């Protein structure tokens, strides 16, 4: 009450806004008003999260592109083809691509150890989409 005596306005309990909860009928992400609502193709929104997990980031699409020829490449050959990538990011990205089944990792029992990477058929299936996106970016933003 001291604030009210000093001329500082005080919100009363009745004036406080209640947090609005979303009802079941309301969409989680509504279209901004004034924009036409187009029907969404089935599953597109649901596919974006796994797409980002498997191919997201700065390096994974570039690594797949370097491996696109289908030949097995060694770590240093891949690194030479991806300008600016650090050793840490290359090894992390190769591990994740391998875990996702987009890249095959083969380790040979030799001294010195030899490891080669090759794009899988699943990874190669992503290349036409990556190429389309790259062309779209070039045509619209460069």
pTM (2 d.p.): 0.68
Asked if pLDDT for residue 81 goes beyond 60, the answer is yes
pLDDT mean across residues, the chain: 83
Mean pLDDT within 35-59: 77
Q: How many angstroms separate the CA atoms of 129 and 124, rounded? A: 10
- Domain presence at residue 13: no
Q: How many angstroms separate the CA atoms of 85 and 77, rounded? A: 12
- Domain presence at residue 73: yes
- Domain presence at residue 70: yes
- Domain presence at residue 10: no
Residues spanned by the domain of 69: 58-142
- Domain presence at residue 51: no
Alpha helices, DSSP H only, in the chain?
Answer: 2-5, 44-55, 60-66, 75-81, 87-99, 121-141
Give the confidence band of 48 by pLDDT, cuts at 50, 70, 90.
confident
Instruction: For residue 78, report the phi and psi dihedrals to the nearest 5 degrees.
Output: -65, -45
- Domain presence at residue 110: yes
| CATH code of 136's domain | 1.10.10.10
Instruction: For residue 42, report the phi and psi dihedrals to the nearest 5 degrees.
Output: -55, 125
> What are the structure tokens assigned to 43, written together?
């599953």
Q: Provide the 8-state DSSP code for 25.
A: T
pLDDT of residue 1: 53
Residues 86-135 pLDDT 10s: 999 999 999 999 999 999 999 999 999 999 999 999 999 999 999 999 99
Give the confidence band of 49 by pLDDT, cuts at 50, 70, 90.
confident
Percentage, residues of the chain above pLDDT 70 = 70
- Domain presence at residue 95: yes
Asked if pLDDT for residue 54 goes beyond 60, the answer is yes
What is the domain count for the chain? Answer: 1
- Domain presence at residue 23: no
Give the confidence band of 37 by pLDDT, cuts at 50, 70, 90.
low
């Amino acid at each position: 009450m001291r604030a009210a005596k000093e001329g500082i306005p005080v919100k009363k309990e009745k004036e406080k806004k209640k947090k609005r909860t979303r009802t079941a009928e309301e969409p989680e992400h509504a279209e901004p008003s004034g924009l036409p609502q187009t029907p969404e193709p089935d599953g597109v929104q649901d596919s974006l999260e796994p797409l980002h997990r498997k191919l997201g980031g700065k390096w994974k699409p570039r690594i797949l592109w370097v491996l696109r020829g289908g030949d097995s490449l060694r770590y240093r050959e891949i690194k030479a083809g991806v300008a600016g990538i650090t050793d840490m990011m290359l090894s992390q990205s190769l591990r994740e691509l391998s875990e996702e089944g987009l890249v095959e990792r083969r380790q040979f029992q030799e001294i010195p150890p030899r490891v080669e990477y090759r794009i899988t058929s699943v990874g190669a299936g992503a290349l036409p989409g990556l190429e389309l996106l790259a062309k779209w970016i070039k045509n619209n933003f460069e």
